């Protein structure tokens, strides 16, 4: 089961570059050219 913590953190800080350890909170880095909300929705559509 996925916990909301890391994803909420990523959303709050989507406007800046993340440090590598912050990226590792997610299963894979979000493509920079794709809006993060769309990327998260594609991975977890039931969110």
* Residue 41 clears pLDDT 50, i.e. is over it: yes
pLDDT given at position 12: 47
pTM for this prediction = 0.16
26 and 9 in contact (C-beta within 8 Å)?
A: no
Per-residue pLDDT of 11-38, as tens digits, reads: 544 444 544 455 445 555 555 555 556 5
Q: What is the pLDDT of residue 39?
A: 57
In degrees to the nearest 10, what's the CA dihedral of 18, 35, 7, 41?
Answer: -160
The confidence band for 9, taking pLDDT boundaries of 50, 70 and 90, is very low
């Amino acid at each position: 089961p996925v916990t909301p913590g890391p994803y909420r953190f990523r959303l709050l800080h989507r406007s800046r570059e993340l440090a590598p350890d912050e990226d590792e909170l997610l299963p894979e880095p979000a493509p920079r050219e794709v809006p993060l909300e769309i990327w998260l929705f594609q991975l977890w559509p039931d969110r």
